A and B are shown apart, each in its own frame.
Chain A
Amino acid sequence: MRLAPSRRFVLGAGAALLALPATPARATKADVAAAIRAITGGAPLRPGRVKLDLPLLVENGNAVAMTVGVADPLPAAERVLSLHVFAEGNPLPNVIHAYFGPRSGAPRLATRIRLATSQTIVAVAACADGTFWTDSVELLVTLAACIDDL
């Protein structure tokens, strides 16, 4: 656990902060939009088909169970080629890109992700007919009261 910062330290830190280049510590909605555009090529996103499952209240952001997938079977011409997940409040917008090959059983995956803070997570499914589908979850990440040493 860190000691409470002294006023001098805070002042000094403030000055250092001013001197820093203006690089965002968090991905922004615009970063996520750009990352999504890199997948869709600017094609419209439609709500539906894909379902993103995440807890609404997260106890620890270091490992959050996430399931994303398209449950309803689709005709071959519309099959899901890939799933993509983005985080608006993490340092970087991309979380995972997943591609389903000929031996895939279902366009679905589960994993555990890191969430730096309360934010919105966005999933995008790319289908073989050139359509893109989306779902999002806004969630709350609580912080631990006792911070551990490294």
Chain B
Amino acid sequence: MPRPLINVPKKVKRGDAFDIRILIAHPMESGQRRDDKGQPIPREIIHSFLCTYGGEEVFRAEFFPAISANPFLTFSARAVDSGQIVFTWTDDLGATQFDSVEITVE
């Protein structure tokens, strides 16, 4: 699976809110479709997403099959200290993936 595309500003001012935008490659198979033989295609979605910053939670979400394929998500964080922003997501196959970016707070 290709890496997600994560967009955060390289530098932010302490105390400012900034946007985090993430695009994850995933089919988000809804479990509602059938294949060309009429057999149901089993559900396979990312069901949970978590973002932490300096070890503390920024944003957490529970996804349902109504989230589009290749999920795109924008949310906001507050700049406190320079550090690592970590993203974790888990899909129906039980696979948990991580990615992270560094941010500089001035």
Interface residues of A (CB under 8 A from B): 62-64, 67, 87, 90-92, 94-106, 108-115, 150
Q: Which bracket fits the contact residues of B? A: 20 to 34
Cα distance, A9 to B85, chains bound together (Å): 56
For residue A91, which residues in chain B have a CB less than 8 angstroms away from its CB? 30, 32, 65
Q: Which of A90, A100, A103 contacts B80 (CB 8 A)?
A: A103
Q: Are B74 and A106 in contact (CB under 8 A)?
A: no
Interface residues of B (CB under 8 A from A): 16-19, 30, 32, 35-36, 52-54, 56-69, 71-78, 80
Known: A63-B68, A105-B18. Contact between A111 and B73, CB under 8 A? yes
Q: Are B77 and A105 in contact (CB under 8 A)?
A: yes
Q: Are B59 and A109 in contact (CB under 8 A)?
A: yes
Q: What's the A-B contact tally at a CB cutoff of 8 Å? A: 105
Cα distance, A108 to B61, chains bound together (Å): 12
Cα distance, A62 to B28, chains bound together (Å): 11
- Give the 7 A-B CB pairs with smallest separation, nearest first: A101-B57, A105-B17, A105-B76, A110-B74, A112-B68, A63-B68, A106-B76
